[in-house]
Structure 1
């Protein structure tokens, strides 16, 4: 069995929807799946940290209010939007809040599990891509720092690029730190010296 299917039962689900037949159908199905769940209406000010997934009725809701409510925490949340009809304003809300899946009203039991599963997969992939992108940005930033430090050494000492890099690398080994930290120290020193020249 796929990990996402097995882990779905560990999800804490919050349903934000008027208490009607659709809400009852959804709560019964979430209960059958085995998830922890709760129900709130209207849209609360804050999203409690214990919830991993939110099923929210976006009908006649302000995208700004929904977005603010969903973004007021560090931990990412899986969002399933519930809509009663399709028009440009409703579709805009879906895009604004970054919904991972959509359920149409009237809600039926069939389709809830697959929507939850696909939403979890989409959200997990988004989180993984964001993490990979952050690592790549950090790596590029570190490469840029080392390049900046090399050029500072080349300018001040009149040496070649390879020699400048060797100095940075040897300093890193001697001080048991990274070439990035040595590079940052060189950049900081250059900045201080430049500022002293203005005094």
Structure 2
């Protein structure tokens, strides 16, 4: 468990916020900040720059979840939300807003440590998956660009696919560039000339 995390707790009830903070400190986290209203989340995130946001709200609504997704940047940090009640639509909306842990039946101090650790772990898994998806998308786009550049060379020079790729590779090595960079330059030039 990482105890050096900066945690932002959003809880309207002052006594309840104190209980949550006490439970966090007891679990080993000492850099804990409290916020009374979700509406101040944007400013608090900019000021405090928390590593994780913990929101305790009895009855979330779609507006709260939309506001959360806009201001909390769930791709930058895990968000754990504790609610007293929900329905399927709100649960989906919370997960679509980037909430890492959505716990129904409220927050109990005895579960806070395990829920936050789960939220952090899920956040890292989701971020890794997103990173891999982005890399796969980039690789696919690069492959398309290289294939397009090969097609241009094949038409212009009357050569085969292997030879076209070899020409791209040699040019890249001669210029100290990546094959994709040479391919992009060729496609851009061909677009300008057509």
Q: TM-score range by the shorter chain?
A: 0.7 to 0.9
Structure 2 residue aligned with 1:39: 34
1:94-121 deviation digits (Å, cap 9, x = unpaired): 2342222234555322111100111000
Q: Across the two proteins, how many residue pairs are aligned to each other?
A: 186
- Calculate the TM-score normalised by the size of structure 1: 0.84
Contact 2:83–2:105, Cα closer than 8 Å, also in 1: yes
Q: Secondary structure at the match of 1:168?
A: helix
Unaligned 5+ runs, structure 1:
195-199
Unaligned 5+ runs, structure 2:
none
Contact 1:54–1:77, Cα closer than 8 Å, also in 2: yes
Structure 2 residue aligned with 1:17: 11
Deviation at 1:93, TM superposition (A): 4.3
Distance 1:26 1:98, change over 3 A: same
1:60-96 deviation digits (Å, cap 9, x = unpaired): 442222222213x8x6111111111233454344234
Deviation at 1:32, TM superposition (A): 1.4
- RMSD between aligned residues: 2.0
Contact 1:78–1:100, Cα closer than 8 Å, also in 2: yes
- Calculate the TM-score normalised by the size of structure 2: 0.86
Distance 1:190 1:93, change over 3 A: closer
